[in-house]
Chains A and B, each alone.
Chain A
Amino acid sequence: VSLLGLKTFHHGVHPPEAKDDTRDLAIRRFPFAPLLVIPLTQHLGRPALPCVREGERVVRGQRIAKPDGFMSVAMHAPASGVVRRIALCPSISGRMVEGVYLEPHPGSTQEVLEGEPCPLESAGPEEILSAIQEAGLVGLGGAAFPTHAKLKLPEGARVDTLIVNGAECEPYLTTDHRVMLEQRDDIFVGIRYLLRVTGVERVIVAVEANKADAGEHLRAGLPPDLPASVEMLRVKYPQGAEKLLITALLGREVPTGGLPSDAHALCINVATAAEIGRLLPRGRGIQERVVTVGGPAVERKGNYRVPIGTPLRFLLEEVGVAPDVNRVFLGGPMMGTAASSLDIPITKGTSGVIAFTETEAERTHRTVHPCIRCGYCVDACPMFLDPSRLGLLAQNGEYERMADDLDLMSCFECGSCSFVCPSHIPLVQEFRFAKAAVRKSRAA
């Protein structure tokens, strides 16, 4: 679909973009916290296996945990220091997970230990895949799916297009925007690696039109031998969702329950591509990531390259927050997760830390009314579900019916329905609950 020359998908919503505060702020390094907490589960899949002992001295960049099987990635020391403990630590999900407590040396430098490089010219696809796994790379857009697993196409899959996702449709977040402006060459090198792994014919870098400067910057520097183009997309949420990106750019639908490769496409977040291009030639692992720290309650907003494992409390103290801050969440405001504790660390999947000060009036504004059948949610749902009807069924606990008759499992929880609902019915919350119930009963 194309509107005014900009490609897009059907339905969706227009939350305030709120990116002006940080879009022009260059990425800056963040100091080391006195204690870093590196969970061994920062990705979807099995926890990594620690390969250091308590009391052991480690060097920044050194591998501290190795992948446990295919669906797992390595972890690297974000700073030089001493492993204090390997014990349970709090995570964003609320669950305690195993983690490495690392105390950086007071004078830990930014110097990084480098390993065996993965040369672009001579490495084969399998070597590149294992190098990506060893580098600990996961989808940096927030999903934290192991990148090598995503690139490992199913048997018989035919993929013709690689989409590098720079849509960054979540309000407030500007990390991908900055990465595109500041790490252009890394992105192109990363694309070259990805081309070797997947053997696709063409690459599309997809950028929402509110980052036109980044799109133009990439376009101007495109190496002539790279089969890549930059495509501007209409600003609309959730344009960055993989399926909708494929639909907008290629006019193809990913079948329900299928993978992007069923639509002959593959999507990689632009920051992930940049990290592949930055880490692989040097044999490094990922031990920091770019995080947008913003929201009305943050004093020194910005885009920071934050060491993995930095506790939220340290991060917020460093940037300064308003004394009456009452809401902190990781990720963007549409799909991000509220922080229940300030002891949880920044992980590979943390794209943003947003802090709000919500007034009493704003809170009462969320009074729940009955559904008035306005149909806003029906017009918003990018999957063409019927959130209104699903919401009514959810209230009666008819989860199986939601899944069987109304395609509940197609909901990817983008939050568009809850965003527009004038009755403030917590639709996504109900759907999350219902999906979990259906999954549980199907597994049984």
Chain B
Amino acid sequence: MARLESTLEIRTSPHVLSGYSVDTIMFNVVLALLPAAAFAVYAFGLMALVTLGAAVATCLVTEQVFCRLAGRPTTLGDWSAAITGLLYGLTLPPALPLWMTVVGGVLAVGLGKSLFGGLGFNPFNPALVGRAFLQAAFPVAMTSWVPAFQPGRFGALPASTATLPFSVPLVDGVSTATPLALWKFDRQATEWGDMALGFIGGSTGETCAVLILLGGAYLVARNMMNWRIPAAVLATVGVLSAGLHAVDPERYASAGFMLFSGGLMLGAIFMASDMVGSPMTGRGCLVYGGLIGVLVVVIRTWGGMPEGVMYAILLGNATAPHLDRWTRPRVYGTRGKVRP
């Protein structure tokens, strides 16, 4: 017992913790993304694997370099850079030139996160910051799509993947349009069942909605995602587009099409719900999700681009701190009484 006293640790309460930690949450997000990533590799073959690998590797290296520059201990262990890399890679066209993937990845982590102070301090979703830069800088490459399930996709890479920096990307023999572009420019609807299962062209990870939903359900079940955000985004998009479709089915796409096309599933479930960039209050999350949903429908329907999920989420991120302030709940005991 004499020994006991000297080894006693004195710490303030609580003396037990829930067991949740940042790294376990982030690791589980990675796990939840893996099915969608695996399907992407199955659908697009080697080029998806290379794109995702390059995206993740770039993000990890950038994180490490910025930690070094800032003189901080490495933060690779919290898995957040890996999530950024995966999400970023999943939003890219699978045949994007590799050097562009690398440039965007450096910007995603460097500009989107590290310059703000690292995890927890980034106002915007880092993956989308990287993608937004590429969208602005390389609009053609970012909208060149290849069809899924090409024969021989596991054997060879498309020529575009290996283009050198600042050379014009080679146009592949086989290219395709995404369902959203088909609708926007040709008023041609795609069967939403095909989109839900992923038998379409599009960004690397935007294709199989079912697997994305599955990953989201896993995180919600483990209390590692606020269900209100994806639910509000999807419900808003569904209701708004169903209303518009009822008014004029020729001009406005159906709710099913809107929900399962483009990056909406991936964005609503894995990016809008990113903890750092979203509000914390329950009501704030609903408003935030609703706002993103409205923006998605507005941009897709009346904007110049076929897809608007990325900008909708980035704008949503900007409102998050304000939403927190406006929706702060009433503190217990403050009902109608003047406080001393």
Within 8 Å by CB of B333, from A326, A338, A339, A383, lies A383
Known contacts A325-B4, A378-B280, A422-B25; A333 and B14 CB within 8 A of each other: yes
Contact across chains for B13 and A369 when beta carbons are under 8 A apart = no
Q: Closest residue to B4 on the A side, CB-wise?
A: A325
Q: Which residues of A contact B121 (CB under 8 A)?
A: 370
Contact across chains for A256 and B16 when beta carbons are under 8 A apart = no
Known contacts A356-B15, A373-B278; A326 and B22 CB within 8 A of each other: no
A304 sits at the interface (CB 8 A): no
Highest count of chain A CB atoms <10 Å: which of B226, B282, B337:
B337
Q: Which residues of A contact B4 (CB under 8 A)?
A: 316, 321, 325, 342
Question: In the complex, A254→B335 CA distance in Å?
Answer: 9
Q: Which residues of B contact A321 (CB under 8 A)?
A: 4
Question: In the complex, A16→B265 CA distance in Å?
Answer: 35
Majority DSSP secondary structure for residues of A touching B:
loop
Known contacts A317-B1, A372-B119; A333 and B15 CB within 8 A of each other: yes
Question: In the complex, A257→B337 CA distance in Å?
Answer: 10
A125 sits at the interface (CB 8 A): no
Contact across chains for A243 and B275 when beta carbons are under 8 A apart = no
Highest count of chain A CB atoms <10 Å: which of B13, B21, B278, B328:
B13
Contact across chains for A369 and B9 when beta carbons are under 8 A apart = no
Closest 5 CB pairs of A and B: A375-B280, A370-B120, A415-B14, A256-B333, A255-B337
Known contacts A258-B337, A375-B275; A333 and B13 CB within 8 A of each other: yes
A-B contact pairs, 8 of them (CB 8 A): A15-B16, A329-B15, A334-B13, A367-B21, A369-B21, A373-B276, A374-B25, A376-B18
The smallest C-beta distance from B143 to any residue of chain A, in angstroms, reads 33
Q: Closest residue to A339 on the B side, CB-wise?
A: B8
The smallest C-beta distance from A314 to any residue of chain B, in angstroms, reads 10
Would you list which residues of chain A between 372 and 426 have a CB under 8 Å from chain B?
A: 372-376, 378-379, 382-386, 388-389, 407, 410, 413, 415, 418-420, 422-424, 426
Within 8 Å by CB of B337, from A16, A256, A328, A422, lies A256
Contact across chains for A407 and B334 when beta carbons are under 8 A apart = yes
B249 sits at the interface (CB 8 A): no
Known contacts A16-B16, A338-B15; A370 and B118 CB within 8 A of each other: yes
Within 8 Å by CB of A378, from B9, B22, B25, B281, lies B281
Question: In the complex, A373→B328 CA distance in Å?
Answer: 14
Q: Which residues of B contact A255 (CB under 8 A)?
A: 333-335, 337, 339
Question: In the complex, A329→B281 CA distance in Å?
Answer: 34
Contacts A13-B18, A171-B16 aside, 13 further interface pairs with beta carbons under 8 A come to A255-B334, A256-B339, A328-B8, A333-B13, A334-B14, A335-B14, A356-B15, A367-B21, A374-B25, A382-B332, A384-B331, A389-B324, A422-B20
Q: Which residues of B contact A354 (CB under 8 A)?
A: 15
- A-contact bits for B4-34, CB 8 A (1 contact / 0 none): 1101111111111110111111000000000
Q: Which residues of A contact B23 (CB under 8 A)?
A: 369
Q: Which residues of B contact A243 (CB under 8 A)?
A: 332-333
Contact across chains for B20 and A376 when beta carbons are under 8 A apart = yes
B-contacting residues of A (Cβ < 8 Å)?
13, 15-16, 171, 243, 247, 253-258, 313, 316-317, 321, 323-329, 331, 333-342, 354, 356, 358, 365-367, 369-376, 378-379, 382-386, 388-389, 407, 410, 413, 415, 418-420, 422-424, 426, 428-429, 432
Question: In the complex, A113→B324 CA distance in Å?
Answer: 61
Contact across chains for B333 and A254 when beta carbons are under 8 A apart = yes
Question: In the complex, A383→B332 CA distance in Å?
Answer: 5
Within 8 Å by CB of A340, from B10, B24, B333, lies B10
The smallest C-beta distance from A312 to any residue of chain B, in angstroms, reads 10
Contact across chains for B13 and A336 when beta carbons are under 8 A apart = yes
Q: Which residues of B contact A388 (CB under 8 A)?
A: 280
Question: In the complex, A334→B281 CA distance in Å?
Answer: 24
Question: In the complex, A16→B19 CA distance in Å?
Answer: 11
Contact across chains for A383 and B8 when beta carbons are under 8 A apart = no
Q: Which residues of A contact B332 (CB under 8 A)?
A: 243, 247, 253, 256, 382-384, 410
Q: Which residues of B contact A379 (CB under 8 A)?
A: 282
Contact across chains for A420 and B13 when beta carbons are under 8 A apart = no
Q: Closest residue to B331 on the A side, CB-wise?
A: A407
B193 sits at the interface (CB 8 A): no
Question: In the complex, A336→B14 CA distance in Å?
Answer: 7
Contact across chains for B78 and A256 when beta carbons are under 8 A apart = no
Within 8 Å by CB of A366, from B17, B117, B282, lies B17
Question: In the complex, A378→B328 CA distance in Å?
Answer: 9
Known contacts A372-B275, A407-B331; A15 and B11 CB within 8 A of each other: no
The smallest C-beta distance from B83 to any residue of chain A, in angstroms, reads 11
Contact across chains for A383 and B331 when beta carbons are under 8 A apart = yes
Q: Closest residue to A331 on the B side, CB-wise?
A: B13
B173 sits at the interface (CB 8 A): no
Q: Which residues of B contact A256 (CB under 8 A)?
A: 331-334, 337, 339-340
B165 sits at the interface (CB 8 A): no
Q: Closest residue to B17 on the A side, CB-wise?
A: A419
Contact across chains for B329 and A375 when beta carbons are under 8 A apart = no
Question: In the complex, A247→B271 CA distance in Å?
Answer: 38
Would you list which residues of chain B between 271 and 312 have a CB under 8 Å from chain A?
A: 275-282, 285
Contact across chains for A372 and B276 when beta carbons are under 8 A apart = yes
The smallest C-beta distance from B29 to any residue of chain A, in angstroms, reads 11
Q: Which residues of A contact B18 (CB under 8 A)?
A: 13, 15, 376, 419-420, 422
Q: Closest residue to A385 on the B side, CB-wise?
A: B331
Question: In the complex, A341→B2 CA distance in Å?
Answer: 11
Known contacts A326-B8, A336-B13, A428-B12; A422 and B333 CB within 8 A of each other: no
The smallest C-beta distance from B122 to any residue of chain A, in angstroms, reads 10
Contact across chains for B15 and A373 when beta carbons are under 8 A apart = no
Contact across chains for B329 and A373 when beta carbons are under 8 A apart = no
Q: Closest residue to B281 on the A side, CB-wise?
A: A378
Q: Which residues of B contact A247 (CB under 8 A)?
A: 332
The smallest C-beta distance from B185 to any residue of chain A, in angstroms, reads 39
Known contacts A372-B120, A372-B275, A422-B24; A335 and B331 CB within 8 A of each other: no
Within 8 Å by CB of A422, from B7, B16, B21, lies B21
- A-contact bits for B38-49, CB 8 A (1 contact / 0 none): 000000000000
Q: Closest residue to B16 on the A side, CB-wise?
A: A333
Q: Closest residue to B121 on the A side, CB-wise?
A: A370
Known contacts A243-B333, A256-B334, A371-B120; A428 and B5 CB within 8 A of each other: no
